[in-house]
Structures are given as structure tokens and as C-alpha cells.
Chains A and B, each alone.
Chain A
Amino acid sequence: MSTLPLQDPSSLPIPDGQPSTKRQAAFLRDAVYRFPARYRVVWLALVFIIILCLVAAPAAFHTDSIRFILAIAGVLAIASTGQLLVVMLGGIDLSVPAIMTFAGAIVVHQSESQNGKLVEAIVVAIVIALVIGLVNGLLVAVVKLNALIVTLAMAGVVFGVSLLWVGSNYSSTGTVPETLGDFANSNLGPISIIAFIGIGVIVIIALLLRSTRTGRSYVASGTNPAAARVIGIRVIAYEVGGYVAAAGLYAIAGILLAGLLRNPNETLGAPYQLQTIIAVALAGAALGGGPASVVGTWVACLFLGFVTQFLTLKGYSGGVSELVNGALLLIAVMLVTVGSRVRSAVRFLHRRTNAASREAPSASSP
């Protein structure tokens, strides 16, 4: 990665009918550009933590442990995809725990812990989450307020409203309907059903962003809103849409987590504030907005699942886990910030040496 291909006309896209080796080389080169270093870091991190667990905490690979890791990673992945949508727009969402907790609470409250009312309760929870997201989006995109302040304040409002509406017990028993609990706790072999849902969400969002014009316009709006506006993209609509979709994803994550725990309480979403931001940062998203790897987000969630399980198995307290999480966020952001600065310096030097060697007679070959 440190050496960039020389930019000369011979490296133009290869027309059809060329020898296959050349075409393979071109394919490889494209792949390198499509998955730059910042997207690859998280895979390395995952390999590292798996090796660490194999060596130091093999208990992490027991079936129950794997199921737990995958279930937690699935919930985190769904919520993190929402956070990713917001971060791609250059925003940040601090209402994740509030919406997740609220959604879980509504499901318990509206269904009164009965299976018969489950569907209705889920619909209510998701619709309310979408409305919260709409308010966030309108305040950020139309009124042009700071995303952080809006979502932080909204988190307070949602927590308050939640207490006023559903109380702190949610229903007489305080448990989710059995159907939801059983569903969320079911596994296919060693893999939690939640992990499959997480993968499904990731695949859908990744395809939307990569292979539809709406998705490409969404990415463009986040990368450079002014330029997107110039070419006629309705940036504000995409911004509002992003916050709405994100809130919907938080709600789904919250409902599944409530099912997994069966007895949700007001701390349900608490860890997901920092963790979703870490997952997004680890996946190589630039926190000022722009393209990001959705698949990388899943990998980051898996990584965080292993980290949490490792720390638990090693008997570290919650303090260590908070400390590790905070440090991970800083490191991830530094890798993107400082790393790209270093890379652009290297690139600059590289170009200069190239220019110098080209001036030297017959010293260079493409």
C-alpha cells in the first residue's frame, strides 16, 4: 500500500480481450483502492483479538460463549449501522441508548407481556422511534442545529417521556412476551438468530449504499454537502432520511436486546452510546462525514463482542472495560486522522522521488 501505482496512461482501465493476467492485475488494483488501509485495520484487529482469546481465554470459544458474543455483536451491529448512517452525514447521534431503551420498554408496556399483542407493540415502538428520528433530522438538517446538542437533548427528553409514560416497571411482570424472548434467544447451531438479523441489516444497507443511485447520492451528500447541492442532490432530504432510518435501526436493536434479556430495564441501552461510536470509528469511517465500510462495521462489532467477553472471562471490572473502550475510540480516530496525514506526507515524498528519478536518464520503468 505504501507504493502507489504510477499515474501514467498505460494504467488506464484495460479494455476487454486483453490477456487475463493483465486483467487480474487491474482487478487487484481496483480492489486495493476499494478497500483502503483504513477499512482493513478492523480485520487485523479481529484476527488479533481472536488469537488473544485462543491463547489467553479459550473459554471464549465454548458454544455458549460464541452464541453470546454473536448475539451481542448482532445487536451492536444493527445499532452501529444506524450510527454509521448518521456519521456518514458528518453528524453524531447521542440518542442511541435512549431510543433503544425506549423501544424495549414500549414493547413490554404495549404488549403487557402478552404474545397476542406483540406485533402491535413492535409496530408502535418502531413508529415512535421513527418520529424521534424525524425530529432529530429536522432539527439538524432544516433548522441547522448541531447534531450532538440536538441528539443529547433528545436523549434527555426521550428518557423523561419514557419514565412518564411506561414508568420503570413497564408492565405488571416487566418481561417481554415469551415469543419475543424465545425468538431472540434461539440459535442455529452455535450462531444466534440475532447475528443473522444483524447480517441481514448490514447486507441490505450495504447494497443500498453501494448499488443504488439513492445510496450513492446519500454518500455524496455526506462526503461534500456543498458539492452535492451544486449538482442538484437534495441534501436536506437525505440528511433527514438518515436520522429517521438510524432511529428505526436503534429501535430494532433495542427490541431484540430486550428479547435477549427478557427483563429489560432502564440501563438496557447504556453501553451502546460509546460502543456504536467505537464500532463506526474502527470501521474506518471519517467522523466528518463521507464513505465508510458497512461490512467493516460488522467486523468491528464482532471485535468489540470478543473484547467484552475477553475482559469478562479474565475477571476485569467494568472500569477496565470503559477504559479500554475509551482508548479504543481514541486509537481508532487517531489512526484515521494522523494515519492519513502520515500517508499524504509519504505520498508527497514518493511523488517527488518519482519525479526526480524520471528526470534521471532511463532510470525508471513503469
Chain B
Amino acid sequence: MLILKKFLRDLPAVLGALIVLAAVILAIFPELLVDNVDRINRGNIIMRLKPPSADMPFGTDDLGRNIFERVIVGTRSALTISLFVVVVSMIVGVPLGLIAGYRSGWASSAIMRVTDVFLAVPQLILAIAIAQLLGRGQISAMIALAVTYWPFFTRTVYAETQKVRASLFVEALEGYGASKTRIMLFHILPNVAAPVIVRATVGMGFVILTAAVLGFLGVGAVPPAPDWGLQISEGRKYLPEQWWYATFPGLAILLLVLGFNLLGDGLRDLVDPRLRRS
């Protein structure tokens, strides 16, 4: 309860939490703001490229589709991709980091060297290459991002595990004869959980951004999916006259990434008050 109170006093973090919450609600129930979710891909050539109006607050695109509705429905795919990527990266990265950090020996060195290789290559370039190899589509974008994102978790967990491993209570447990698995699962994991959650939260925003870049470059979602990156890439051709086409999906990305980053920053401050922003 004390933690909740402290969190509520952190205004930017609360703002971030509200943005994320709103996005999650819209992703699950787009019907709240969209009349007919099945119709969002259906064009209407007569209504082509209409500027924002009271009826269509974000205007229409080159096929006469309602951009507002497409942006709202796009929330779902953005969140699905980032959630999938972050969860898969955690499932792969956290145990590897734990093992590498707690044990020493060739297995641990091998894990960390592979991680270093992944981290040395810019993530986006590697993701583009893998997505390109797998063929166009949202699934291959997700796989490509997951394959390139797990090393970030391994690094974080590795560093934290090394810190916890040196602490006296782990040594005491070893002294009492606790098994390595028990120490890793029940003692080190909870103690490294906080930084992992922070990294996951910030990572959600980061993955949304990267997924949008993939969509924009044409290796991610395929038309007519209401993907934000894809919409920007299509709307780019109509800049600057029909500015609303590319602007509103871009603002959606901006807002959601900002939300995750503010939330992640707030969580980090809760976890580690020494990192309080000035």
C-alpha cells in the first residue's frame, strides 16, 4: 500500500500508467470507439482523402477508410506484437541470464559470448534481415524481434544475478546445503525480478517502435492490416498536403511509447530510489 501511495505521487508515471491502461482497454474492446470493427478495411472511394472533421476526427485515407477507426484497431496488433516479443524474450533471456550469472564455467561463458555477439549487431538491422528471410508478415516480424530482443534480458539478469550471488544470504543458503536450482528459482529470481519488470515495461515501448519501423520498411504487416507503421508508410506519399494520413498513426505510436517509457521510469524509481530523476 505504501508503494502504491508513493507511485501515485509520481505524476508522469501515473500519466504513463493511464495511457497504457487506455491502450489495453481499447485493444481488448475496440467496439467502444469503433462502430463496426469488421468494416475498417472496407474502402469508399468517394470519401477519399477527406481532412479531419467532426464525423471523422482523423480524416480518411487514399481508399476512403476512416483513419481514426484504423488507428484505434491498430492498438491491438501493436500491443500483441510487443507483448509476444517481450514475453518470449523473457522466457528465453531470463533463465539464460540466471544460469550464466549464478554458475561459472564454460556454459556461462558461452551464453554471455553469444549474448555479446547479438548485442554488438544493431538490433534493428538484425531484425530486418531475419524478417526478410522469414518472408513478409506480422508473424515473421514478431519472430525476428523476439530473436533479437532476448539478449537484453540476459544482460540485465546476468548483471543483477552476479550482484545477488555475492550477497551473504546466498552464501548462507549454500552453507545450509541448498541446491543450486532452489537458490536460483526461489532466492535469486525474486531478487532480480524488479529490474526485469522495469526492463520489460520500457521494452514494450521499444518493441512497438521497432515493430512500426519494420512495418514502415515493408518487412512487417501486410496491407490491408491496420498496422501503424504500415499506415505511416502509405500516408508518406501524400505528405504534406494530406498531412493527417501519416500524422495520426505516428502520434499513436508516440503516445503509446511515451506511456510505456513513463511507466517504466516510474517503476524504476520505485524499485531503486537512488535513481530518482532530478
Q: Do A and B bind each other?
A: no
